């Protein structure tokens, strides 16, 4: 179990919402996430939901975690 549990929704400093897909054992504060909204809060269609490894995206950081969990496929 990482610092950000898989399936939980997080808010990025850039304004997007994302779902945690997996933890990163090398840096628990930088998981792999899937974007679910854009920075304006609009829901992204599945084809536009980018998967990002935050360990490779130092310009993005998690600023909030939701207590709701989504099913990850």
| Long-range CB contacts for residues 49-58, cutoff 8 Å, separation at least 24 | 51/21, 52/18, 53/24, 54/24, 54/30, 55/24, 55/26, 55/27, 55/30
Predicted local distance difference test score (pLDDT) of residue 57: 93
Predicted local distance difference test score (pLDDT) of residue 54: 97
Instruction: Read off the pTM.
Output: 0.86
One digit per residue, the tens of pLDDT, for the chain of length 73 reads 568 999 999 999 999 999 999 998 889 999 999 999 999 999 999 999 999 999 999 999 999 998 666 655 5
């Amino acid at each position: 179990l990482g610092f950000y549990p898989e399936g939980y929704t997080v808010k990025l400093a850039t304004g997007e919402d994302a779902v945690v897909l997996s933890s990163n054992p090398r840096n628990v504060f930088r998981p792999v996430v899937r974007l679910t909204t854009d920075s304006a809060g609009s829901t992204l269609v599945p084809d536009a939901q980018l998967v990002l490894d935050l360990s490779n995206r130092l310009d993005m950081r998690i600023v909030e975690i939701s207590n709701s969990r989504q099913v990850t496929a």
